[in-house]
Chain A
């Protein structure tokens, strides 16, 4: 089962990929610096399919897309939070990293070691029995099917975006 990584409110991009380490374009190197100071064990233990559950305003701060790239490269299957910062959210849409907006009461009660199940727009905490609705951007899901915005643009002109992506 997927491991849950729990984080607090206002996890900013300086915590995800700190500026001093954030000077490489190598995706594997970026995966190694994810939360390097905030949670040094993260990049060593994270497994593909793991889920991050966090507090409000996840991804606030700098526009650095490495924050999304690093977590995607680590294999994070989804990030669940009550709210996400704008540029991080947009970067995730473009790259097809699944972000799920969920009720704060639900997310704050999730602990590491719990088991979550996500299906049919519902998240169920199998450990506690509580559940909530999962809100995922339709645009994100559509672009994810294409493999991200770059793959979309290899097949379509950007002017077709309004018609094909909702």
Chain B
């Protein structure tokens, strides 16, 4: 009999019975996540099937997609959600992008998170099974504490070797997206392994798992280990966890091996995630904006990389450089260690923690013919504003180098 994958083990534990790949099961969920857009759409479906949420302490509602409200319409949606949460005894979180705050404060190895947001897989960087759903499912989860799932097949990706200077996990996952395509992992789990993964800290892992959403995956996951323990300890919430692993004879749909020492800085050209080329190939393309932000890449480690490249220099005249820390924790650390002051002196605009410009709703909406290098996860047409704008996705290092030069720039000349 074939062994079990990590995802299979987590789902079986939540179903209370052993599950095979392809099985349909109703499972218990550990927590629900929704935000200032998806919660609004979940309220009416919820009222159709329930009066009270199953457990208000397990429901995490974030105001991050457009907070503070940029207009009356959003303000009214916020008010609607606040009334609902007050009535249900749910505490709203205003501390930044939901996925980043979940990682800092709540996500735990081997748990199952139902998240009403496509980038929910981010929490897989902590060894949790975090799956994105729509608002009807969020309503079902909030009402019952349960959800239906089908047990997905797993693609195992082994990362080996060491990253070259100026190359980051974002470059690794863009490389994987190029190889697998935007639907290469549709309905599947992407499980990361290999010697390089052992070296990657949790913030690096969160970038990998975050982007699994962009290749269609049901989720991405990095098995919890000593790096996970260290991260949880840093956040004062470590409790012993079982180091669950896929069995050695587990049934993987495919196994891919990468030597990451061969990867160079990558960039996703508009309008799709799998349209990736080495940065060196399109160096010199003029830009108007740089967005250093989002749940993909605006943790304190990302700000440190950008700072290292930009220290003592100025943002190129005419470039709008928008820095949006992913969470209040990141924002406060960056205030304390002076990054924000330094970025401001360089000419950056510092936005409050949240999703910011990523989804084109406020704080950096792109106009016709604007060209943005963004550290976020989507370069779809119209994603950040005008359908005539162009979005390139890259690492914080490439974004920083590009901000200095006013054109797409290879960060390797700044970091040796």
Segment with Cβ contacts to A, from B5-13, B41-49, B242-250: B41-49
Query: Is B288 interfacial (CB 8 A cutoff)?
Result: no
Q: How far is the CB of A122 from chain B (nearest CB, A)?
A: 25
On whether the beta carbons of B187 and A86 are closer than 8 Å, the reply is yes
Q: How far is the CB of B385 from chain A (nearest CB, A)?
A: 7
Query: Is B238 interfacial (CB 8 A cutoff)?
Result: no
Determine the chain B residues whose CB is within 8 A of the CB of A64 once the complex forms: 37-38, 41, 134
Query: Is B354 interfacial (CB 8 A cutoff)?
Result: no
Taking a contact as CB atoms closer than 8 A, the residue among B120, B134, B217, B272 that contacts A10 in the complex is B272
A-B contact count (CB 8 A): 133
On whether the beta carbons of B26 and A60 are closer than 8 Å, the reply is no
Determine the chain A residues whose CB is within 8 A of the CB of B38 once the complex forms: 63-65
Determine the chain A residues whose CB is within 8 A of the CB of B361 once the complex forms: 19-20, 23
Segment with Cβ contacts to B, from A42-50, A103-111, A154-162: A154-162
Contact A25 to B41, CB < 8 A, known contacts A37-B387, A57-B216, A158-B26: yes
With the chains together, A139 CA to B148 CA distance in Å?
A: 11
Q: How far is the CB of B330 from chain A (nearest CB, A)?
A: 23
Determine the chain A residues whose CB is within 8 A of the CB of B218 once the complex forms: 86
On whether the beta carbons of A23 and B136 are closer than 8 Å, the reply is no
Determine the chain A residues whose CB is within 8 A of the CB of B132 once the complex forms: 63, 87
Q: How far is the CB of B116 from chain A (nearest CB, A)?
A: 6
Contact A158 to B24, CB < 8 A, known contacts A14-B383, A20-B361, A23-B73: no
Query: Is B166 interfacial (CB 8 A cutoff)?
Result: no
Determine the chain B residues whose CB is within 8 A of the CB of A14 once the complex forms: 378, 380-383
Q: How far is the CB of A124 from chain B (nearest CB, A)?
A: 27
List the A residue with the shortest CB-CB distance to B44: A25
- Number of residues from B at the complex interface, CB < 8 A: 53
Taking a contact as CB atoms closer than 8 A, the residue among B26, B183, B187, B272 that contacts A162 in the complex is B26
Interface set, chain A 76-105, CB cutoff 8 A to B: 83, 85-87, 90-91, 94-95
With the chains together, A40 CA to B269 CA distance in Å?
A: 25
Query: Is B231 interfacial (CB 8 A cutoff)?
Result: no
Mask, A118-159, CB within 8 Å of B = 1, is 000000000000000000000100000000111001100011
Taking a contact as CB atoms closer than 8 A, the residue among A15, A57, A153, A159 that contacts B182 in the complex is A57
Interface set, chain B 7-52, CB cutoff 8 A to A: 24-26, 37-38, 40-41, 43-45, 48-49
Contact A23 to B37, CB < 8 A, known contacts A14-B382, A158-B146: yes
On whether the beta carbons of A149 and B383 are closer than 8 Å, the reply is no
With the chains together, A86 CA to B216 CA distance in Å?
A: 7
List the A residue with the shortest CB-CB distance to B387: A37
Determine the chain B residues whose CB is within 8 A of the CB of A20 once the complex forms: 360-361, 365, 385
Contact A83 to B359, CB < 8 A, known contacts A37-B387, A63-B116, A91-B136: no
On whether the beta carbons of B44 and A90 are closer than 8 Å, the reply is no
On whether the beta carbons of B37 and A61 are closer than 8 Å, the reply is no
Query: Is B414 interfacial (CB 8 A cutoff)?
Result: no
Q: How far is the CB of B267 from chain A (nearest CB, A)?
A: 18
On whether the beta carbons of A90 and B183 are closer than 8 Å, the reply is no
On whether the beta carbons of A87 and B133 are closer than 8 Å, the reply is yes
Taking a contact as CB atoms closer than 8 A, the residue among B74, B133, B183 that contacts A83 in the complex is B183
On whether the beta carbons of A57 and B136 are closer than 8 Å, the reply is no
Taking a contact as CB atoms closer than 8 A, the residue among A18, A22, A158 that contacts B144 in the complex is A158
Taking a contact as CB atoms closer than 8 A, the residue among B37, B43, B217 that contacts A22 in the complex is B37
Determine the chain A residues whose CB is within 8 A of the CB of B387 once the complex forms: 37-38
On whether the beta carbons of B49 and A153 are closer than 8 Å, the reply is yes
List the B residue with the shortest CB-CB distance to A159: B26
Mask, B349-360, CB within 8 Å of A = 1, is 000000000011
Query: Is B322 interfacial (CB 8 A cutoff)?
Result: no
Taking a contact as CB atoms closer than 8 A, the residue among A61, A149, A158 that contacts B380 in the complex is A61
Q: How far is the CB of B347 from chain A (nearest CB, A)?
A: 27
On whether the beta carbons of A23 and B183 are closer than 8 Å, the reply is no
On whether the beta carbons of B140 and A158 are closer than 8 Å, the reply is yes
On whether the beta carbons of A63 and B73 are closer than 8 Å, the reply is no
On whether the beta carbons of A94 and B137 are closer than 8 Å, the reply is yes
Interface set, chain B 91-150, CB cutoff 8 A to A: 116-118, 120, 132-137, 139-140, 143-144, 146-148
Query: Is B77 interfacial (CB 8 A cutoff)?
Result: yes
Query: Is B158 interfacial (CB 8 A cutoff)?
Result: no
On whether the beta carbons of A25 and B77 are closer than 8 Å, the reply is yes
On whether the beta carbons of B186 and A83 are closer than 8 Å, the reply is yes
Determine the chain B residues whose CB is within 8 A of the CB of A69 once the complex forms: 41
List the A residue with the shortest CB-CB distance to B49: A153
Determine the chain B residues whose CB is within 8 A of the CB of A86 once the complex forms: 186-187, 216-218
List the B residue with the shortest CB-CB distance to A91: B134
A-B CB contact pairs (8 Å), 10 listed: A14-B378, A24-B73, A25-B44, A37-B382, A86-B187, A90-B134, A94-B134, A149-B136, A150-B49, A158-B144
The chain B residues found within 8 Å of chain A, CB to CB, are 24-26, 37-38, 40-41, 43-45, 48-49, 66, 73-74, 77, 80, 116-118, 120, 132-137, 139-140, 143-144, 146-148, 182-183, 186-187, 216-218, 272, 359-361, 365, 378, 380-383, 385, 387
- Kindly list 10 other residue pairs between chains A and B, CB separation below 8 angstroms, not including A20-B361, A61-B380, A85-B216: A14-B383, A15-B381, A18-B360, A19-B383, A87-B134, A91-B137, A139-B24, A150-B48, A150-B49, A158-B26
